[in-house]
Structure 1
Amino acid sequence: MISLTVTPKISLADEPLKIQVAGLPPHKLVTLQASLTDEKGVFFCSRAFYWSDMDGKVDLEQAAATGGDYVGVQPMGLFHTLKPQKLFYRLMKRNVMESPFHIHLALFDEFHLFASPHDQPVASQTVERWYVAPGVQRVQIRGSRIRGALFLPSGEGPFPGLIDMFGGVGGLIEFRASLLASRGFAALALAYFAYEDLPIYLDKVDLEYFEEAASMLLGHPKVSGAGVGVVATCKGAEIALAMATFLPQITATVCINSTNAVHGTELRYRDLYISPIPYEFGCVQIMPLGLLSLSSVMGDTQAEANQGSIIPIEKARGQILFVVGESDQNYNSKAYAEEAMERMRRHGRKNCTLLSYPGAGHLIEPPGSPFCLGSHSPNFPLPLMWGGEAQAHAAAQEHSWREIQKFLWCHLRPTRGSKL
């Protein structure tokens, strides 16, 4: 009897799964297919072709795909390569609390290239991929002017606290914060524009808003330690770097594909004012498939006239981790991170680390997130190109997610004299 086994059937979205097939004839060509429909009704699908071994088995931890959406040994390849039916659409979990992604895995005992609702697989399984562990609480934050969602792990705590932010899409994105809470952190998903009563557009960065968020988090009875961390991507990571530099509450900062300077929008903090390097939209490149590359839009950080816009990260008290995709087509993030590292060396500072991933693009997210070459973004008439290559990007997500958590646990542990 042909069987398809997937374990575990219920898991967090960042956990690997074991996928095995048994009961096939020896040396049989089969197709494995994964599919899901997201919360907006968009259908995603991936497939790969395998040959069964002499015992009629296929184990994705050992067997190499010979074609389809990927080749080679990739145990989670079906998840990494999920692609939308709707062109240039990004898979992103919106409601993390109420439901998981239900991913349907199907086995066809033949070469199967096109998905149809009338096709009948010889075996199938459906798995649940959750973004919150049992017992994680979500608390809506609307106190004072701070807007966001605080995720608290199960248990009494207290827990190390961190702020999680994304970039130019705005709004409130919660899936990374909820996963970090599932791993033991009190994680505040922080909105800073285009959400509720916050400004629709980000015309300036008021660092006092982010200071207030850090102080609020530190004051929570379930948050331990004398400082908090920040995990951020893109424009959010630019702000995170400024937070690490100027806010004493920030003790560990993860900047994912960021810049080392203030770009596009001025930054203010009390009496401090940093003028931005203007965006150079005349340098936008239209790439194949009509995708926009913004990697040349950021002004030259080496130019003498722009030196006042560089964030003086040598003033940072805490630890900083740069995570970089070397094929990022949204920012020239590798060059910016290397400039930041060199600035720290010139000032004799050693509290900065760089993780750089060849072949990875801009959207380095938790593992299990499908590779997205390009997608639509607010305020742009054409979809943006994020860059990268699927297999290298997936490997970067898996490795960086482990390293980010190790970094946070190392530098957010309570110190003597803290609330713990």
Structure 2
Amino acid sequence: MKSLIAALAAALILAPVPPAAAPAPPAIQVSPEAPLMDQPFRLSLTGLPPGRPATLTARAQAQDGVWWRSAVRLPGAPAEAIDATRLIAAMTADAAPKGGDRQAFAVTDVSQPLATTFEISAGGRRLASRTVTRRFGPAGICPFAIREDGVVGVFYVPAQPGPHPGVLVIGGSDGGFGAPQVAMMLADHGFAALSLAYFGKKGLPATLEDVPMETFSRAVGWLHRNPAVDPRFVAIYSESRGTEPALYAAATTGGVDAVVARSPSFALWGGVSANHLPGKPAWTVAGKPLPAIPNTLYPGFIAAYLGDRLTGRPVRQTPLFLEDLAHFGDTARVEIPVERIAGPLLLLAGAGDQIWPSAMMAGRIEARRRRFGRAGADQLVVYPGVGHAIPYAYLPVRKRDAAGPFAVGGAPPGETRAQADAWPRILRFLTDAAKARARPDAR
């Protein structure tokens, strides 16, 4: 027995020891694997050499050719979890090419995916790389161009069978189709969304001048008649100058059940000519101009404008609107009768808006609604440190205005916080309003 035990011990001693498993190479995991533009996502970094600092970079090319980049230092822990949306928000634009937009990440075609590459490097050597491709909506959403019954737009219908709650999407003074990114994302969340054009397209006014208010009432009616839309709920999403006809249509046209107004106005303003100067009346009814507050280039604003242009500073337009209001006096005859809007309002504004004083004007809307006892389900949200363009997708946020002819306002910390709050808030508001209208006792 002793000899058997000795033989076994010798065999164990002489047996080859298997080599230790090689450590897994550095890798980047993405969760969820295929996020959409309005979805937060995280990166799990594994296999990093312990105690060895590394750098995580992100880069993406906007649709105008400008590259945007950001980087964060990693302390070298065995594994890291990173909020990728914050890394994207922190991106800044390269200096080249000329003519690109360096204040906002340019998106001109919402049907195209956006690729963002994340890379880990240390000591000048790339350790791992992963490209994440995101879309504004899933591939099943097929937009339809619309030009009928006086309605010009693009209709985004969810991939799931309908009918669906409807949303009319109205953009601002850039013209063309209204906020197509928003329309695409709304369709992804179950809304049939019509991105409306009201100037800047064939057959429509060329500029924001002499735009018929009937354009918007016809669009509301078109949605109600469309078989893809549940007529129990039609809402309006609007931005900037587009909030004027949105609120006016909701107040004067039946069938509008809720309104989202981003960076809104409480009153009607004058038109804007092709060279961005004060123009003819912006809005008409039955061919006649509606009363509005005209923009007037007062000497003080002209002096400030020339000073900004000479020194290369972006021009702040909010002082011009405030001066116009002070000179105009009593605004009763140009205010939008928002108390006539039966459904709830969601008003979103940036406290640092330098395009026009949207936070103050949103407050005027809320005050009028309260005065008439109509503000019960309304929401007013004013974001500190945010400018005119409140972000609604996970893209690079605007930095402090340093280029471009006009200041927008805002700073990265406030913009990043609004980016995580505004879009989920809009979806909850519209979803809750649609559910309320779908109840048997709602009508």
Flag whether TM exceeds 0.5 (same fold): yes
CA distances 1:339-376 after superposition (whole Å, capped 9, x unpaired): 11111222222243201111122111323032124789
2:418 maps to what in 1? 396
Tell me the CA shift for residue 417 of structure 1: 7.7
Q: CA deviation at 1:243?
A: 1.8
Residue 70 of structure 2 corresponds to residue 46 of structure 1: yes
Evaluate the alpha carbon distance shift between residue 259 and residue 141 of structure 1 in structure 2; reply closer, same or farther with a 3 A threshold. Answer: same
**1:149 aligned partner:** 154
Q: Which runs of structure 1 show a deviation greater than 6 angstroms over 4 or more consecutive aligned residues?
A: none
Deviation at 1:382, TM superposition (A): 4.8
> Which one has a bigger Cα radius of gyration?
2
Aligned residue among 272, 277, 292 for 2:293: 277
Cα 1:349–1:92 shift into 2, 3 Å: same
Q: CA deviation at 1:127?
A: 0.6
Query: Deviation at 1:82?
Result: 2.4
Structure with the higher helix share, 1 or 2: 2
SS at match of 1:122: strand
Which residue of 271, 286, 295 maps to 2:318?
Answer: 295
Task: Report if aligned partners of 2:314, 2:406 keep a CA contact under 8 Å in 1.
Answer: yes
Map of 2:380 onto structure 1: 354
TM-score (structure 1 length as normaliser): 0.86
Identify the match of residue 180 of structure 1 among 183, 186, 195. Answer: 186
The letter for the 1-side match of 2:79 is: K
Identify which range, 215-224 or 297-306, moves more after superposition: 297-306
Question: Match for 2:114 among 101, 121, 127?
Answer: 101
Contact kept, 8 Å, 2:316 with 2:408, in 1: the verdict is: yes
Superposed CA offset, 1:197-230 (max 9, x none): 3222111331100111111111110100334111
Map of 2:264 onto structure 1: 258
> After alignment, is 153-162 or 409-418 more displaced?
409-418
2:102 to 80, 88, 96: 88
Question: More displaced, 20-29 or 264-273?
Answer: 264-273
Structure-2 residue corresponding to 1:217: 223
Percent of aligned pairs with the same residue? Answer: 26
Partner residue of 1:167?
Answer: 172
- 1:18-417 matches, within 5 Å, as 18-53=42-77, 56-61=78-83, 75-85=84-94, 86=100, 88-97=102-111, 99-110=112-123, 121-172=126-177, 173-265=179-271, 266=281, 267-270=283-286, 274-282=290-298, 283=301, 286=308, 290-298=313-321, 299-300=324-325, 303-351=328-376, 352-373=378-399, 382-413=404-435, 414-415=437-438
The runs of 5 or more residues in structure 2 that have no matched partner are: 1-24, 95-99, 272-280
Structure with higher strand content = 1
Contact 1:250/1:318 (CA < 8 Å) preserved in 2?
yes
Q: Distance in 2 between matches of 1:382 and 1:41?
A: 17
**TM-score normalised according to structure 2 size:** 0.81
Q: Which amino acid aligns with 1:134?
A: A
| RMSD between aligned residues | 2.6
Partners of 2:167 and 2:236 within 8 A in 1: yes
Aligned length: 391
Note closer, same or farther for the CA distance 1:120–1:149 as it changes in structure 2 (3 Å cut): farther
